[in-house]
Amino acid sequence: MNEKKKIAILGSTGSIGTQALDVIRANPDEFVVEVLTANGNADLLIKQALEFNPNTVVIADESKYSFVKDALLPHDIKVFAGSKAVTEVVQTESIDMVLAAIVGYAGLESTIAAINAGKQIALANKETLVVAGDLVTALAKVKGVNLYPVDSEHSAIFQCLAGEFHNPVEKIYLTASGGPFRGKDKNFLNGVKKEQALKHPNWEMGAKITIDSASMMNKGLEVIEAKWLFGLKPEQIDVIVHPQSIIHSIVQFTDGCMKAQMGLPDMKLPIQYALGYPNRLKSDFPRFNFLNYPALTFEQADTKTFRNLALAFEAMNKGGNAPCILNAANEIAVAAFLKDEIGFLEMSDLVEKCLQTIHFINKPSYADYVETDKETRRVAANLI
């Protein structure tokens, strides 16, 4: 009988966190929940804690602390509050693996703390590698920590590389659905409202990532993440639009052979693969039927209309703190778009302006990244 893997879920009330708990619920012999953390959704956090009985929960929003504490007091579950507590709790001795699913830059500090503590990481927070990929991957190497990707595209690359780690990669292709506005022109995009942008054709995701997907920034962030995860040069990474979202990504080797990972679009698959690695766990997820998809199609990404993808490639090529600027500006842009403060295409304008304005640092330290993020948010907010 295997020891159950003790999991800490950072961001347990978000889209990835709730689906991870579905996976854990379905595999009670494999996993036990050790820690749950949430930003502000106290009601759902309490509900999750009562079901999974973790050792500790953290609510980042300190104003909700007593509400959560009182609800869990009779159940012998430790309760802490504040973002500092999230960073401290990941260092708990009993944790085997940390699922980093906090959205955006906010997830960086706790992921670094978990790596420092030697925890294996299931990485759903792509911004961690976008912002500080050089530092994070170097630290993981020093600490002997594996980063298991949870993004469906990076999970696909990881699965294609299983048994191939000694073979050099020539190129990888990250597939993109093209989002809800595939094939639309700038005139159409000018008038797009958030309600339209929040309707993704294939995937169920949180608001931030759904908007990023509609603007192609999500793919841009994934390109930068892939560079660090798989130790690639920018020219080894390409994006191909594949509207059916059945092929999740492709690896091309130096002999010209290609491997692709396929399946129905369901985030529970890559989550389960990361949590259970190196074992594939049985699941009752729906199975792919070729006859339901007689044609799989591919097309070039339109980087002229969807400029975010081009800006991400530029930031990756430039290196230094440019991806950090890109990410911070985009977080401000998406938040403003969701509040109807700027238009859909103006998000790219804002990101581009910040990339041109903010001081470039070629070899940033952690403190430089923190400062760059702060400065970019300030400038971006002023530009709005």
Chain segment 265-300, per-residue pLDDT in tens = 999 999 999 999 999 999 999 999 999 999 999 999
Mean pLDDT of 233-241: 98
pLDDT of residue 204: 72
> What is the overall mean pLDDT for the chain?
96
pLDDT one-digit tens code per residue, 299-352: 999 999 999 999 999 999 999 999 999 999 999 999 999 999 999 999 999 999
164 band by pLDDT with thresholds 50, 70 and 90: very high
Percent of the residues in the chain that have a pLDDT greater than 90, as a whole number: 95
Give CA–CA dist 17/49, Å, rounded.
Answer: 13
Residue 141: pLDDT band (50, 70, 90) is: very high
**CA gap 190, 212 in Å, rounded:** 16
What value does the CA radius of gyration of the chain take, rounded to a whole number of Å?
20
SS3 371: helix
pTM of model > 0.85: yes
Q: Are 358 and 325 in contact (CB under 8 A)?
A: yes
How many angstroms separate the CA atoms of 341 and 244, rounded? 32
- What is the average pLDDT across 108-124? 97
Task: Give all domains of the chain, ordered by start, each with its CATH number.
Answer: 5-149 (3.40.50.720), 154-265+286-303 (no CATH), 319-384 (1.10.1740.10)
pLDDT band at 199 (very low <50, low <70, confident <90, very high): confident
pLDDT-derived band at 239 (thresholds 50, 70, 90) equals very high
**Average pLDDT of 169-192?**
95
pLDDT at 1 over 70: no
Chain-centroid distance of CA 16 in Å reads: 9
Cis bond before residue 278 (omega within 30° of 0): yes
Alpha-carbon distances, residue 298 vs 35, 149, 249 (angstroms): 41, 24, 12
Average pLDDT over residues 179-198: 93
Does pLDDT of 2 surpass 80?
no
Residue 202: predicted pLDDT = 79
Confidence of residue 56 (pLDDT cuts 50, 70, 90): very high
pLDDT in tens, 64-89: 999 999 999 999 999 999 999 999 99
Specify whether the CB–CB gap between 216 and 308 falls below 8 A.
yes
CB 37 within 8 Å of CB 9: yes
DSSP letter string over 139-198?
HHHHHT--EEE-SHHHHHHHHHHTT-TTSPEEEEEEEE---TTTT--HHHHHT--HHHHT
b/e code 104-119 from CB counts within 10 Å (16+ = b): bbbbbbbbbbbbbbeb
Q: What is the pLDDT of residue 206?
A: 80
Q: What is the pLDDT of residue 205?
A: 76
Output the pLDDT for position 39: 96
Q: How far apart, in whole angstroms, are the C-alpha atoms of residue 366 and residue 371?
A: 9
